[in-house]
Structures are given as structure tokens and as C-alpha cells.
Chains A and B, each alone.
Chain A
Amino acid sequence: MTTASEAAASAGGLLLPVPDEDGAPFWEYAAQGELRVQACAACGRLRFPPRPCCPHCRSFDSEWRRMSGRGRIWSYVRPHPPLLPAYAAQAPYNVILVELADAPHIRLAGNLVTSADAPLDSVDPARLRIGARVHVVFTETGGMAVPRWVLEKS
């Protein structure tokens, strides 16, 4: 079994997601290049983060619904050191919170980059703006597919 630190080493020191039982399907779909969100199979309501049962109708049946991959920046920060070494090396970088176009109350943390495999600080900070339209891309790192976000061409 690969430990978190071994996986992180292969991802250039960046932390990799460690899926739990509820979250595993998200990462499995990501590996197929799909952004999917857990939905209740009984009442149809989407929920995030994933969990065993629906907080609305209490059904334990769920499915994973594919999203368009489009969204808007709800908020963002630019972390400066002191940070973990791999992150400090790219700081100040951005972390954005994306509200999904299909489900605005579902907001995914991520990074705005110029292309899927570009560094976390590849976007000019002047282009960071709440409300900016973005879409998802996936980068392969440490044996996982991790979502990143790029600006929609305006």
C-alpha cells in the first residue's frame, strides 16, 4: 500500500487526496476525466461532501451525477509562506472556491491554472475575480487525477 507521504513524494511534494469510503467515487470518476457529484437516488437532491445518507429524505441509496464542469469563482485566497515546502515553492499561489453552474450551492476548492498541468501560480493574480467563469480540467499526479480550473475564454 502506498502511504500518503510516498504518494506526496511522487506528486512533487504536494498533498494528494486520501479518499474515504464516501468520497472514493468522486476520485474514481475524476480518473476518467469526469466531474461527478453525489445525488440521492430517492429524492434526487445533490449533496457535497459525499456522505452515507441523504440529509433531506434519509435514503441510503445514492448515485453520482455528471456535472457540466462549468462554474464561477465564489471566492479565492492567495496563501503566502510559511507553508508546507512544496506549496511554499509555488507561493503565492491561488486557491479558488468554484460554485458549480449546475448546482451553485456546491462549491469545490481548487486552483486556477493556465492549463491542466501548469503550476499553481501560473495565472496572473490580476485575473482572479469573484464571478469569473471557469471550467474543470484534470491533472495526473502521483497516480491520481486531480481537478484544476481554467478561465473560460471570454
Chain B
Amino acid sequence: MAATLKDATAIVGIGQTAFAKRLPQSEKELACRAILAALADAGIEPSEVDAFASYTMEETDEVEVAKAIGAGDVTFFSKIGYGGGGSCATVGHLASAVATGQATVGVAWRSRKRGSGPRPWKNTAVQLPTPGQWTRPFGLLRPADEIGMLARRYMHEYGATRDHLFNVAMACRNRANANPAAMMYERPLTREMYMTSRMISDPLCLFDNCLETDGALACVIVSAERARDCRQKPVYVHSVAQGLPAQHHGMVNYWNDDPLSGPAWTAARHLWKQADFGPQDVDVAQIYDAFTPLIPLSLEGYGFCGRGEGAAFTEGGALETGGRLPINTGGGGLSEAYVHGFNLINEGVKQLRGVSTAQVPDAATCLVTAGEGVPTSAILLRS
């Protein structure tokens, strides 16, 4: 192999806007604010940016961003599909571009007004041709319905209960309660609140669902060599992977042999193959949590436990600070902000800088994952 991505690049700047149900600024303005904050954090001039990566669902394109922030000549740009499955791949694509000399300063971002904008599933009519023709007419309308179907089967097969899903919601909420930037800061959750909350798609209740959020985040990627001269302690991109499993069908992954082993399994195999360490060496993890059942499924997929053991893994405070695997230490999509998982990337960086509001002592390795159930991506970060 001619080159390796392993530790060849680093995230040297992170930025974010406020997170709220409603923000007055446009998605474009929020994107620019997050990107400029990330560049200021890195101590890099916007005119040096020559690469961009975001999601296909991102409304503001790189042309708009580049001219607004005053970027220089741009030589690499990339968009990743599948909504929340794209988050970590933005970093991965920029790491590849920088490591292979296609660019020198890359910016990844996501800006979204999901809190005040329309719910994406409102527009189901345009999704009715494949694959919507097989699901939408029957009232399987929203991601919560689609994932709820897998969750019910998972609970049936492995004895997972709503208490296990509560463990996930609680871990994220507890971390958000310590994070002043989180939407659920100072808003504690109790077991009673969880168990008596309204159903969204039974078996999933209100607290099994991520937050409706307006906000934007960005990060800056440069070569490891350049990173040594930046303002912040470098956080190295150790391994990256995308995952689209054989015979996968998207969120309604109901038609392959094993719907309960999703894209996480595919991404994980490649991620660990490229890494110098394994799941047992991960100090802290930021695991995509649009819905609570994605956590046990991802714990299994990324190899923290065996098949069917993900729910039991959440017991005994394992996901809490000081537990076996602290997760989503900023509060995650469930309790910090739901910005298609980009906050998980920045939170991973904060942990390895040692500045998280729920700091894991001496954290040196962090797994960050993207949306599960859809073609996904993941990165391993190290300090």
C-alpha cells in the first residue's frame, strides 16, 4: 500500500453555534459562524482553506460557504449521502484528501434547522417510489417507525427491555446536565418520566428519540506535520471507515438475512483492521444516537460486546462517567443537540484535548460513529 491514513492527519479546530429549538439565523449563516469559529480555534486563516466536506442533505453548498468565509482556491470538495450516516465520513474524506496531497486545510461542517424547519418525513410523497412504495402506504412514515420495527424484534430476540433503552437515554441526559451548551442542560430525566412519557412509535417513547435542533458545527483537518504548529493540541485521525453492507436496504433494512446486524458491523471490520488498537482500548465513545436502540446495536457492531449482548452491556452504569464505556459525553443527539451527529465528532475532540464537561480522565482514544441503520461511517481518534 502506498500510503496510510493512520495518524497522517489531525483535527486542529472545532467550532459550533448555539443549539436551540429555534435560532433566528439562516442555515447558511450558522454554517459560516461554525466554520469561522473552528478556524479561529485552530489559528488558521480562512483564506488557507482549500477543501470542504459535508452531507448531501446539507442545504448550504461549498460554493456559498467558500465565498462567504473568504476561502482561497478550493481543490477538493465532497458530499456524503444517507443523512446521519455521513457525519464521520466528512472527516474521513478530508483526511484522505490531505494525506494524499489533494488539499492542505480541510473544513467539514453540518448546519441544520431541524428544530424550526419542517420534519423531513412530511415530504413522504416524493419518497413513494422505491423503496417508499413498500413501506410508506402502510403508515411506516418516519425514521422512528422504521427503527422501532427493528427495536421490537431486537427486544423479542434478546430479552432487551425498555429499562435498557432508558439506561441509554439516562446516560446521555446525565452528560447533558453537565454541559451548558446542551439543550437539556439543567433538565434532569427520571425513570418515572421515561416510563410514563408518550409513545412516538411503540416500543419507542418520547425519550428514545433525538432532539429537534437548530445549530451548526464544523471542524478543521490538516496534516499531522502542520498540526504540530497549530494553536490546539492535535487530535489524530487514526482510522476511518464507511459501511454499506451487502444486500443493505437503507433504514428499512428488513429484507436481508440478518436485519439486526447493520452497517456498523461493516464499518467496524474495516475500522479495526486499520487500527493499532481494538475496542478494549477505547477510553470513551461517541455513538450515534438518533434513537436509543441504536446504542446496543452499535455496541455489538463495533465489538464492545457479543451479538445480542448490547442491552445487557448498558446495565450497572456501564455507559456513565466512570463506567465500562462512557458514551456521548456532551449529551449526544438525545440530549445535547441533534445535528446529524456532528456534535459527536467535536465532543470526541474535546475529550482528547481534555476539556469535555464530562471529561474521562486521561482519555487518549475515542470512537466516533455515524448513523446506524443507514450506510454509515466511523472514525477512531487518538491524542
By a beta-carbon cutoff of 8 Å, the part of chain A in contact with chain B is 4-5, 8, 14-20, 22-23, 27, 48-49, 55, 74-80, 82-84, 87, 90, 92-93, 95, 97, 105-111, 120, 130, 146
A49-B134, A95-B138, A105-B255 known; A18 vs B148 contact (CB < 8 Å)? no
- A-B pairs with beta carbons under 8 Å apart, 29 shown: A8-B125, A15-B128, A16-B137, A18-B132, A23-B129, A23-B130, A23-B134, A55-B247, A75-B152, A77-B148, A78-B202, A79-B144, A79-B201, A80-B201, A84-B122, A84-B141, A92-B199, A93-B139, A95-B139, A95-B140, A97-B149, A97-B153, A97-B254, A109-B135, A110-B138, A111-B138, A120-B139, A130-B153, A146-B137
**Apart from A75-B149, A84-B124: 20 A-B pairs, beta carbons within 8 A:** A18-B133, A20-B133, A22-B130, A27-B133, A49-B130, A75-B156, A76-B149, A77-B149, A78-B201, A79-B139, A79-B141, A79-B142, A83-B141, A95-B138, A95-B140, A106-B255, A107-B255, A109-B134, A130-B156, A146-B137
- Give every chain A residue within 8 A of B133 (Cβ-Cβ): 17-20, 23, 27
* B287 interface hit (Cβ, 8 Å): no
In whole Å, how far is A130's beta carbon from the nearest beta carbon of chain B?
Answer: 5
Q: Is B145 close to A, CB under 8 A?
A: yes
Within 8 A of A (CB), among B231-280: 247, 249, 252, 254-257, 259
CA distance A41 to B144 in the complex (A): 37
Contact flags B200-227 to A (C-beta < 8 A → 1, else 0): 1111100000000000000000000000
Task: Check A109–B128 contact: CB distance below 8 A.
Answer: no
Q: Are B202 and A80 in contact (CB under 8 A)?
A: yes
Contact across chains for A77 and B152 when beta carbons are under 8 A apart:
yes
Distance from B168 Cβ to chain A, minimum over Cβ atoms (Å): 18
**What distance in Å separates the Cβ of A8 from its nearest Cβ neighbour in chain B?**
7
Question: Among residues 104 to 139 in chain B, which have CB atoms less than 8 Å away from a CB atom of chain A?
Answer: 119, 122, 124-125, 128-139
CA distance A105 to B135 in the complex (A): 16
Q: How far is the CA of A5 from the CA of B128 in the complex (A)?
A: 11
Determine if B295 is an interface residue (Cβ-Cβ < 8 Å): no
- Tell me the bound Cα distance from A115 to B381 in angstroms: 55
A66–B166 alpha-carbon span in the complex (Å): 44
Q: Is B187 an interface residue (CB 8 A)?
A: no
A8 to B152, CA, bound (A): 29
Q: Specify which chain B residues have a CB less than 8 angstroms from the CB of A83 in the assembled complex.
A: 139, 141-142
User: Which residues of chain A are near B156, meaning CB under 8 Å?
Assistant: 75, 130
Cα distance A55–B257 when bound, in Å? 14
Are A18 and B129 touching (Cβ within 8 A)?
yes
User: Please, how many angstroms separate the alpha-carbon atoms of A8 and B141 in the complex?
Assistant: 15
Q: What are the residues of chain B within 8 A of A107 when measuring CB–CB?
A: 254-255, 259
B191 within 8 Å of A (CB atoms): no
Of all chain A residues, which has the CB nearest B259? A107
The answer for the CA separation of A82 and B204 in the assembled complex, in Å, is 14
Inter-chain contact A74/B153, CB cutoff 8 Å: yes
Known contacts A97-B254, A109-B254; A87 and B153 CB within 8 A of each other: no
- CB-contact partner of B137 in A15, A74, A78, A79, under 8 A: A15
Whether, in the assembled complex, B198 has its beta carbon less than 8 Å from a beta carbon of chain A, the answer is yes
The CA of A65 and the CA of B131, in the complex, are separated in Å by: 20
Interface residue B337 (Cβ < 8 Å from any Cβ of A): no
Which residues of B are found within 8 Å of A19, using beta-carbon distances?
Answer: 129, 133
Alpha-carbon gap, A127 to B254, bound state (A): 22
- From B252, which residue of chain A is reached at the shortest CB distance? A109
Among B125, B135, B144, B150, the residue within 8 A (CB) of A4 is B125
Q: A110-B138, A111-B138 are in contact. Are A49 and B249 (CB under 8 A)?
A: yes
How many whole Å from A39's CB to the nearest CB in chain B? 14
Shortest CB distance B194–A (Å): 16
Nearest 9 pairs between A and B by C-beta?
A18-B128, A75-B153, A78-B202, A77-B148, A17-B133, A20-B129, A75-B152, A20-B130, A77-B201
B135 partner residues in chain A, CB cutoff 8 A: 109
Point out the residues of chain A lying under 8 angstroms from B256, CB to CB.
105
> A77, A97, A105: which has the most chain B beta carbons within 10 Å?
A77
Instruction: Check A108 against B134 for contact (C-beta < 8 Å).
Output: yes
- Residues in chain B near residue A5, CB distance under 8 A: 125
Smallest CB gap from B133: residue in A: A17
Report B266 CB to chain A, min CB distance, Å.
16
Q: How far is the CB of A74 from chain B (nearest CB, A)?
A: 6
Closest to A82 in B: B119
Taking the closest CB of chain A, its distance from the CB of B126, in whole angstroms, is 8
